[in-house]
Amino acid sequence: MPFLLFVVTSLLLLSGCSGKSPQTKEYATLTPYSPSPKQELSYKLRNKNPVTLTIYEQYKKWVNTPYKYGGTTCYGIDCSSLVQQVYKDGFGLNIPRDTKHQAKVGTFVKKPAIKEGDLLLFKTGYSSRHSGVYLEAGNFLHTSTKHGVTISNLNNPYWREKYWQARRILNY
């Protein structure tokens, strides 16, 4: 019986706190509408060509995945594995796992003729190579050691200096 009395008393005290507070003259500050990154991406994807859409879909699948040398999963992935997965899952194409062999597939494409879906290759060190997949407007999908899976731009001074070649793998 004392327990029941305790419960009833507690409920009465708590219900006293739930009443309406007196009206004040303060008004909520309205903040301007700002779309979420996913909404922004969805807006940008309208009317895109199918290749670009497929690459963006792959980006959405892998975004937030950190860089891991030799990694092949959502717990960590390196650049050549990401590129391999984009072509396999997005386009049903099997390409080599490492950048050395990726640089030999498809056909060479001059930089001004790069199209959506082309494989991009960079020389980032004496014997180091990096790969990504071209999106549009200078943007490409890749994984960086600092940001993980991300989209960067070829006009960025770093990438412009490290650019090596493009390969056309998709026949469209």
Check residue 41 and give its pLDDT: 55
Examine the residue annotation and report whether 79 is marked as an active-site residue of this protein. yes
Taking the model in full, what pTM does it have? 0.73
Q: Which residues are within 8 A (CB) of 104 and not within 5 positions of it... i.e. 6 or more apart?
A: 96
Examine the residue annotation and report whether 17 is marked as an active-site residue of this protein. no
Count CB neighbours of 135 within 10 A.
22
- Inter-residue contact 128 to 139 (CB < 8 Å): no
Rama region for 106: left / alpha / beta (φ>0; ψ in -120 to 50; rest): left
Examine the residue annotation and report whether 142 is marked as an active-site residue of this protein. yes
Which of these is catalytic: 17, 74, 101, 130?
Answer: 130
Asked if CATH classification 3.90.1720.10 holds for the domain at 47-168, the reply, yes or no, is yes
Which of these is catalytic: 17, 74, 79, 147?
Answer: 79
- Inter-residue contact 121 to 133 (CB < 8 Å): no
Mean per-residue pLDDT pooled into runs of 10, the chain (172 residues)? 45 40 40 47 63 94 96 97 97 96 97 97 94 97 96 97 97 81
Helices and strands of the chain, counted as H and E runs: 7, 8
Q: Map out the domains of the chain as residue ranges.
A: 47-168
The DSSP result for 21-60, as a single string, is PPP-S--PPP------HHHHHHHHHTT--HHHHHHHHHHH
Which of these is catalytic: 17, 74, 101, 142?
Answer: 142
